Amino acid sequence: MISRPRLSTPELAIPVLKKPELKPLSIPLGKGPMTSVTPVLKKPEVTPATSDPPEAELKKPEIP
């Protein structure tokens, strides 16, 4: 078996990086960022009068 020469250590020191902080990919409900840009909107009240769309009034065309 042919022995290969070992590589010498590099002359420049390579800095060791810190491990990144692990954060969840999703934010739990109600735990939004403190500097939220989105305003909090009130939930609209749903009543029987507002739950159905209004019916359209169709007018018959006049024939001359």
Determine the pLDDT at residue 55.
Answer: 77
Q: Say what the pTM is.
A: 0.16
Determine the pLDDT at residue 1.
Answer: 56
Averaged pLDDT, groups of 10, the chain, 64 residues long:
70 79 69 64 72 76 80
3-state secondary structure of 50: helix
Q: Please state, in angstroms and rounded to a whole number, the distance separating the CA atoms of residues 33 and 27.
A: 9
Determine the pLDDT at residue 34.
Answer: 61
Determine the pLDDT at residue 17.
Answer: 81
